[in-house]
Structure 1
Amino acid sequence: MADKADRDARGRVVAAATDGACSGNPGPGGWGALLRFEDGSVEEFGGSDPATTNNRMELQAALAVLERLKELPRHPDLRLRTDSKYLIDGLGSWMAGWKRKGWKTAAGKPVLNQDLWQALDRARLPDVPLAYVKGHSGDPDNDRVDQIAVAFSRGERPVLGASGSAPAAGASAPSALEEAPAPASLQRLLSRLELADRLAQGGYGLTAVELAQLVEQPLARLQDRDGPWRWRDWWVEPLEEGRRWRLQRAEAGSEQN
């Protein structure tokens, strides 16, 4: 009952991201994942494997998120964001052919990572499409899951965002890194501020879900706003009757009319 109450309080999942990492490829690997909820809360989890590949860690991360999402209410705009074209192409293009050929490639060889592909095929959710995001491009959620995956691949135990319920099977519980260069919360904030600057300079428009992810505010709160408002060093301006938003760098001491 308590778990259900926590889920209800957090609202729907509005964003999801995964990443995998491996040292040596093959070698020790790790994966990381996060979910964002309408109330602004974040759930992070991850795991490791002492002998694996980067591709297997990418698939394991996606599998863990999909299995977790089955238990949670999901926003209709939810996408599972990943920098793995291997994952996207496998689920979106290659799998149908593999299955027709009895899980063989066009060359007649057994499909690599077949166990994880078959598990992903069973776990996929029709309402949660995959979306590609370029790795190491300043995207805050991609950067964060990369940090989690790399830490696990190195045998470290990263500090993970609080979850409202038990993490996915195989995930590791939170525990502090002994010599972290900076608190995880500060690292995430710096990444978000850098991204905000790039968005403002480029004049890009953001959906309400993307803006909620950036400013870490509940989606419902953003949908209630009908005019410009200030977030840290930027003005947030509504476009298209509030369906999209744009950031504009605020001058020191300025107030918008």
Structure 2
Amino acid sequence: MSSSRKIQSIYTDGACTGNPGPGGWAVVVYYTDNCVHEFGGGEKQTTNNRMEMQAAIAALNFLVNAQQKELVTLYTDSEYLINGATKWVKSWKKRGWKTAQNKPVLNQDLWEALDSVNSKQIAWQHVRGHAGNVGNERCDAIARAFANGKTLSLQQEEPSSSSHDIATNHLSLDGVADVNGDNTIIDKNIQTTLIASDATIMDSPAPTSANSEELPRELRVAGLRSLIDTLRIAEEIAAKGFLITSSELADLMDVHASAVTSRGDEWRWRNWIVSRVRREGNQILWELERGDEVNSAREPYNSDPATE
């Protein structure tokens, strides 16, 4: 990396289908000269929190290898990650990796790895997820692609190239990828073909909030594909009469669990009527029915909690 090129900011994100289930993580690095470097990986059985942490670990390792001294802002939509990295980890270490309730800390292996590369050089910054932030939306698209085993082209600068060259990775996303010191992706059960290109890197706008219409077409299409996957899952759950918990429903809708439980016993979400069936232990079980199949004589339903 030339002395004039500096890392300006880093975005990270994790995604998981099922939680636990197939997961993916992503890192997008923005440079001061508008160049962009993207990478990520996935696991066949993991959790969303672990993918968020894995993304941050890979990002901080990348920053260490860049040997940059200037402060860098790391953006994430995971409050769990930020609180753990900046607050909780100090107490956990003092207690021998035990919580205040004297229980083992979950994901200790990743917390230890993260703590070993965290430093005052990092300014941790929370960003609201799915709110039109370009960097966050791009990270989300990459992480979801890895989680769903889909192919996605990644922008990757070549260390030996000028700032106007780009390398694109076409990944058969099925496994775990890691980052080496030379900015290449290490193959771990993932087939990777690195194709050097003479194309000019598009100037990337500063990752700020934007309307969905202003996002690049690739992000909009990736978002639509993710939405279709979500709707297909919901349709299968409704068709087969499966009951799902509040946390599972929140994952499906991509909202906080409180947005599910605060809406009452029955309400509409997209094409479905969501109804509370019963409580089992600490869990509330919900049923999905197609809205167009429900008797129209029912009382009006509350609106989609994800939009309020």
TM superposition score normalised by structure 1? 0.64
In structure 2, the residue matched to 1:150 is: 144
Tell me the matched-pair count.
182
Cα 1:140–1:154 shift into 2, 3 Å? same
**Deviation for aligned residue 1:194:** 3.5
In structure 1, the residue matched to 2:106 is: 112
Unaligned runs of 5+ in 2: 160-182, 196-200, 215-308
Equivalent residue in structure 1 for 2:88, among 86, 94, 103: 94
Q: Secondary structure at the match of 1:18?
A: strand
In structure 2, the residue matched to 1:25 is: 19
Matching residue's letter, 1:167: T
Give the structure with the larger strand fraction: 2
Is 1:58 aligned to 2:64, yes or no?
no
**Deviation for aligned residue 1:126:** 1.7
Task: Output one character per residue of 1:141-172: Cα deviation in whole Å (capped at 9) or x when no partner.
Answer: 00000000000000113110122243355686
How far, CA to CA, are the matches of 1:99 and 1:135 in structure 2? 30
Matching residue's letter, 1:130: W
How far, CA to CA, are the matches of 1:77 and 1:125 in structure 2? 10
How far, CA to CA, are the matches of 2:78 and 2:209 in structure 1? 25
- Bigger drift between 7-16 and 45-54 goes to 7-16
Is 1:128 aligned to 2:148, yes or no?
no
Does structure 2 conserve the Cα–Cα contact (< 8 Å) formed by 1:12 and 1:75? no
How far, CA to CA, are the matches of 1:125 and 1:170 in structure 2? 28
Does structure 1 conserve the Cα–Cα contact (< 8 Å) formed by 2:11 and 2:136? yes
Does structure 2 conserve the Cα–Cα contact (< 8 Å) formed by 1:29 and 1:51? yes
Does structure 2 conserve the Cα–Cα contact (< 8 Å) formed by 1:18 and 1:81? yes
CA RMSD of aligned residues (A): 2.9
Cα 1:72–1:175 shift into 2, 3 Å? closer
In structure 1, the residue matched to 2:74 is: 80
**Deviation for aligned residue 1:109:** 0.8
Equivalent residue in structure 2 for 1:140, among 122, 134, 139: 134
In structure 2, the residue matched to 1:36 is: 30
Matching residue's letter, 1:86: Y
Does structure 1 conserve the Cα–Cα contact (< 8 Å) formed by 2:131 and 2:209? no
User: More relative contact order in 1 or in 2 (CA 8 Å, sep 6+)?
Assistant: 1
Q: Secondary structure at the match of 1:21?
A: strand
**Deviation for aligned residue 1:64:** 0.1
Unaligned runs of 5+ in 1: 1-6, 177-184, 199-257
Does structure 1 conserve the Cα–Cα contact (< 8 Å) formed by 2:133 and 2:209? no
In structure 1, the residue matched to 2:43 is: 49
Cα 1:175–1:61 shift into 2, 3 Å? same
TM superposition score normalised by structure 2? 0.54
Matching residue's letter, 1:194: A
Does structure 1 conserve the Cα–Cα contact (< 8 Å) formed by 2:15 and 2:52? yes
How far, CA to CA, are the matches of 2:64 and 2:185 in structure 1? 11
How far, CA to CA, are the matches of 2:6 and 2:32 in structure 1? 6
State the percentage of identical aligned residues. 40
In structure 2, the residue matched to 1:194 is: 210
How far, CA to CA, are the matches of 1:78 and 1:123 in structure 2? 14
In structure 2, the residue matched to 1:255 is: none
**Deviation for aligned residue 1:21:** 0.1
Q: Secondary structure at the match of 1:70?
A: helix
Q: Secondary structure at the match of 1:152?
A: helix
Is 1:164 aligned to 2:163, yes or no?
no
Task: Output one character per residue of 1:178-213: Cα deviation in whole Å (capped at 9) or x when no partner.
Answer: xxxxxxx99x88x97935999xxxxxxxxxxxxxxx
Does structure 2 conserve the Cα–Cα contact (< 8 Å) formed by 1:157 and 1:174? no
**Deviation for aligned residue 1:96:** 1.0
How far, CA to CA, are the matches of 1:33 and 1:90 in structure 2? 19
